[in-house]
Structure 1
């Protein structure tokens, strides 16, 4: 995440990074959190930092949390930027992809499937190793994201920006289009990246966030 955080700071943003339960410095033995509990964690970070409203940007599972925050805590948002969130309940084929990857290869298989073969192969070896080291956590968290069934409508779209990688497969573009249809939110295609813009194109993704969401406070 460091390259994206640096790129946002270079563009004048104050960046707060939220680690999901069990990741980074957080307790690796922590049980899986629901999407709502992940939102509560973001709100707690905002409260601790004395931030009333923020632009919340996330990728993959983090995008799901940003979307959920637009639904449950719009008063804490300037904008939610959601890059390819996990909304298998909205587009069942996405849920089928996740379940199939888990069945075939567990958390490591899901990480590879979500990244896509091109992105996965292009990642530096230390980054791949870091992702694979979290395979157990990825598998642990998958059921909560699979169960996420958002209540969507125009009010959500007032705070939401959907992004999708230009190099992502058609399924991801279908998901973005479905979110836009249900909420009226804009869909922005990010050049030069797929599911993981923080690795593929951090500066381009930072430019996208800056162009479409205010950066008085940015939390990721």
Structure 2
């Protein structure tokens, strides 16, 4: 099973280093550097060919892109999407991030969104790049994902604030998606709990069994 790791705003493929190591050499892993164009069509066009037939994993903006690809009919084998944007289902969800970005730029954005495990070494994005991406994700509105719904699991970090838990719960209810709590982490699951995230990905993708399956979560 091919696994594709999709990064969010103010990060790039380096954010997945610990997760890739935890997944191990037996798993075919791709962690592309997105264009970070601020244009949804451009981002989807870059990711869709790689994600077709693969197991997609996204955190934050990467999870949001996973939802949008599903809505556009990209044929995932499965997807694990951690704390995507929820549009009008969760108004104000990113207001604190917006305030930090206005006052402290990229450093404030990343620290507020991802927490202390994020550092400026995890991104080369300029202020303008982050601004464009942030606007794109704040304008996102979730849409039905059709027959792919039974292949997608949403997750929320155990230590994430109540607003995040509500957003994932409401998004799951609106789109008919399974959702679960990922223990031992907050928003930045790939930085805070890469071993646990990798274990979930291996189980959900069927990597441990050599074929795709959907065993129950712990």
Give the TM-score normalised by the residue count of structure 1: 0.78
User: 2: distance between equivalents of 1:78 and 1:171?
Assistant: 30
> Is 2:102 the counterpart of 1:129?
no
Partner-residue secondary structure (3-state), 2:58: strand
User: 1: distance between equivalents of 2:176 and 2:95?
Assistant: 26
User: 2: distance between equivalents of 1:154 and 1:161?
Assistant: 14
Question: Which structure features the higher share of helix residues?
Answer: 1
- 2:38 — aligned with what? 33
Unaligned runs of 5+ in 1: 23-31, 47-51
User: 2: distance between equivalents of 1:66 and 1:200?
Assistant: 21
User: 1: distance between equivalents of 2:130 and 2:35?
Assistant: 11
User: 2: distance between equivalents of 1:81 and 1:153?
Assistant: 14
User: 2: distance between equivalents of 1:113 and 1:156?
Assistant: 32
> Is 2:17 the counterpart of 1:2?
yes
- 1:97 — aligned with what? 96
User: 2: distance between equivalents of 1:78 and 1:132?
Assistant: 29
- 2:62 — aligned with what? 62
User: 2: distance between equivalents of 1:130 and 1:95?
Assistant: 23
1:133 is displaced (CA, Å) by: 4.6
205-214 or 168-177, which deviates more: 205-214
Partner-residue secondary structure (3-state), 2:56: strand
- 1:107 — aligned with what? 106
> Is 2:204 the counterpart of 1:199?
no
Off by >6 Å, runs of 4+ in structure 1 = none
1:139 is displaced (CA, Å) by: 2.7
Query: Retained in 2: the 8 A contact 1:156–1:183?
Result: no
How many residue pairs get aligned? The number is 193
User: 2: distance between equivalents of 1:62 and 1:141?
Assistant: 11
Partner-residue secondary structure (3-state), 1:77: coil
Query: Retained in 2: the 8 A contact 1:154–1:184?
Result: no
User: 2: distance between equivalents of 1:66 and 1:13?
Assistant: 20
Q: How does 1:144-159 map to 2 (within 5 A)?
A: 144-152=136-144, 155-159=147-151
1:88 is displaced (CA, Å) by: 3.3
Query: Retained in 2: the 8 A contact 1:111–1:131?
Result: no
1:156 is displaced (CA, Å) by: 4.8
Query: Retained in 2: the 8 A contact 1:111–1:132?
Result: no
Unaligned runs of 5+ in 2: 1-15, 213-218
More relative contact order, 1 or 2 (CA 8 Å, 6+ apart): 1
- 2:5 — aligned with what? none
The 1:87–1:174 alpha-carbon spacing in structure 2 relative to 1, beyond 3 Å, is same
Note the aligned Cα RMSD (angstroms). 2.3
